[in-house]
Amino acid sequence: MKKVLFATTALVATAGVAAADVTFGGYGRFGVIHVTNPTGTNETNVTSRFRLQIDATAESDAGVTFGARVRLEGEERDETNGNRPSFNGVRYFARSGGLEVGVGNIFGALEFMPGMYPIDLGLTGHNYDYTAYNFGGDAYSSGGLGSAGSNGVELLYSAGDFSVHVSASETQNADRIAAHIAYTWNGWTFALGGQDSDLATDTELAASVGGSFGPVDVTLAFADNGTKGDHIVLAGRVDVGAATNVEAYVADADQWADTSFGIDFNHDLGGGTSLRGGVSTGGSLGDESAVDFGVRFNF
């Protein structure tokens, strides 16, 4: 991650600012993905993504940090904007100590809840069947406005091993208010979340617990996703060498005909680069299976 510091009045046109900081970071990935269908309809395609994240902050004389986050992202499969990278909605925030208030393209209390992303399967994520809340709530959108166009607001607070997150949004179609609390004890993180929403398919309740059994990191997560039914995930990660780890999951949801399974590997090449690949089947893929492989580089 690269950092550019602007700290002179010639570049920061606001008197009294103690310090301003603009940070650039992100990643690129490219490779292939192969989808197999039992009927014989197989397809292999190139897959790629570029993400540039810009975080800008300024600190007042009173020690309050004000900031914003925006992303520029493009994918080979993005046909909605002529295959050109585009900026997403901006998230603005004010932070002091352990308290933060965010508005715009908010993170979302359920999306940001510990245990909702226990692993990152393969190169592409494989439909994220291992995300128990199944996107039934507000979430930070990398390629769209997210809640920036729906009065999104959130409050985050942390003190030691305890944290709480409350978020809300309001649109013409639905109002949402969600919250989670999390506590870490003896290396294990426990989290409980809930939501009141006008959408019948939104998540109503979520819970997770994650920690380590020796060399294996494990997470168990559950969500009641309204009319979509229950969703439960067991995921794990283990190092199999100094530079390689393996991740796996099993997920079962009432909305699927089949249980979802997946396994991957990640091999660190150094300097922020890695080889990644994974395979998944069932769940949101139905009778299909997907295999991907490629390179990711962080900057």
* 236-274 residue pLDDT tens: 999 999 999 999 999 999 999 999 999 999 999 999 999
DSSP 102-161: EEES---TTTTSTTSSS---TTT-GGGTT-TTTT-S----SSS-GGGGTT-EEEEEEETT
Mean pLDDT of 186-196: 98
* 98-150 residue pLDDT tens: 999 999 999 999 999 999 999 999 999 999 999 999 999 999 999 889 998 88
Our count of domains for the chain comes to: 1
Backbone angles phi, psi at 201, to 5 degrees: -90, 0
Q: How many residues does the chain have?
A: 299
Query: What's the confidence (pLDDT) of residue 8?
Result: 33
Specify the CATH number for the domain of residue 129: 2.40.160.10
Cα angle 11, 13, 15; round to 5: 120
Structure tokens at 32: 């292939």
Q: Does the structure show a pLDDT above 50 at 4? A: no
Query: If we measure between CA atoms, which residue out of 133, 129, 157, 163 comes closest to residue 252?
Result: 129
pTM: 0.89
Q: Does the structure show a pLDDT above 70 at 90? A: yes
Range of the domain at 237: 2-298
